[in-house]
Amino acid sequence: MPAALSSTAETCSAWYDQAFNAYQAGHFDAAAAALDHLFALNGTHADGLHLRGLVAFASNDAASAQ
């Protein structure tokens, strides 16, 4: 894998991990902010999209969770 792609994948993974950890800790605003960074790099990140729905639902924003 070229270095630029590897770096982007690692950065996406880091943003996802940060979002997931914030979600698990109940810090939904921080999770959403980390997901915003993730989607700036990869707008179709499947696990990120799923987590976005979980964060929205946990934040009582069911409309965004769909």
Task: List, for residues 2-61, the tens digit of each pLDDT value.
Answer: 555 578 889 999 999 999 999 999 999 999 999 999 999 999 999 999 999 999 999 999
**List of residues 6+ apart from 5 with CB closer than 8 A:** none
By C-alpha distance, which of 40, 34, 42 is closest to 14? 34
Report the chain's terminal Cα–Cα distance, integer Å: 34
**List of residues 6+ apart from 45 with CB closer than 8 A:** 12, 16, 38, 39
pLDDT at 32: 97
Q: Output 23 or 62, whichever has higher pLDDT.
A: 23
Domain chopping of the chain, boundaries: 3-65
